[in-house]
Amino acid sequence: MTSSGAQILFKFPFKAMGSPCEIQLYARDDSAARRIANLAIADAGRLEARYSRYRYDSLLSAINRVAAAGSSIDVDDETASLLNYADTCHRESDGLFDITSGLLRQAWNFKSGVLPEDSRVRQLLDRVGWHKVRWTAPTIRFAPGMELDLGGIVKEYAADHLATLCRNAGARQGLVNLGGDIRVIGPHPDGSPWRIGIQHPRKPGIEPIETIALHQGGVASSGDYERCITVDGIRYGHILNPKTGWPVRHMAAVTVAGDFCVVAGSASTIAMLKQQDGPAWLENLGLRHLWVDVEGNVGGSLSRSSDRLTLM
């Protein structure tokens, strides 16, 4: 601790939900910051253990075993809140944001470099559709052969949840970064904002295409760059239209800033899914945003430049 009791910035890197993560906290000494960070990191592990689709012993896997059998299950309050939010996103996106569409991964292998057979995609679409689920808290009932994937919500929800946990534990300045999904706990001690770089959708690691200032709230991005394949010169990203079973191909990336990271994350994904209608939809919501389409055009209220990017 400094003699003046000044706040020092401490950084705590860790890995969760398949991503490199970091909690940054201002505190008077390392032990105070570490105590709070450890609480948050443990809770990130708790959420991953509950909602990972890769763990047989997770709550989500248990739900999906029930879904495959076409049966029903009662869920706890936290899970119910996530399902309620997913239901809202489904309505607000005209059915494009659909947590049952993860089933389409059975057709799409983004490591193979090969497009799936259209017949296989159509076969899986018969078991996709949130409208086929009967959800009245606390009970969810499935048609046979269905599956849930909360990957489009949980990491962003976790960023918000961990930030609140840190504040409740005494942190007043800092941020939570879960693989690029960011929630601000509070600004720097002098009141200045955190500066968040928005990465180039084709050239990660180079100079950001924009830098935004956040005093509060969260920011999240969606794009066609996380998992993709290129066939005959055409890029196919991992964001799949649940109505067609095929990747959206208009936007390269969308970044959204909002009061909550979970709202920013779902809005950026919905904008990707809405393709050419995405920018107008975001404008109508009034959320600060930046988009890059596959031609390299840049726009949105967070964009300070009308330059066109080179996408290769």
Q: What is the pLDDT of residues 175-198, one digit of tens each?
A: 999 999 999 999 999 999 999 999
Helical pair 30-51 and 59-69, crossing angle rounded to 10 deg: 10
Domains of the chain, earliest start first: 59-141 (1.10.3980.10), 193-299 (3.10.520.10)
- At 2, list the tokens: 């400094």
Res 6: pLDDT: 84
3-state helix, strand, coil in the chain (%, to 5): 35, 25, 40
Alpha helices in the chain (DSSP H): 30-51, 59-69, 77-92, 118-125, 154-168, 261-274, 278-285
Picking from 2, 19, 3, 88, the residue whose alpha carbon sits closest to that of residue 226 is 19
Res 225: pLDDT: 80
CA angle 162, 168, 173 (to 5 degrees): 75
Contact status, residue 264 vs residue 275, Cβ threshold 8 Å: no
Contact status, residue 35 vs residue 21, Cβ threshold 8 Å: no
Contact status, residue 196 vs residue 212, Cβ threshold 8 Å: yes
Res 228: pLDDT: 86
Q: Which residues of the chain have pLDDT under 70?
A: 1-5, 305-312
Res 204: pLDDT: 72
DSSP state at residue 105: G
Res 1: pLDDT: 42
Phi, psi (deg, nearest 5) at residue 133? -90, 145
pTM metric for this prediction: 0.93
CB atoms within 10 A of CB 211: 12
CB atoms within 10 A of CB 56: 8
Res 10: pLDDT: 98
Helix (H, G, I), strand (E, B) or coil at 183: strand
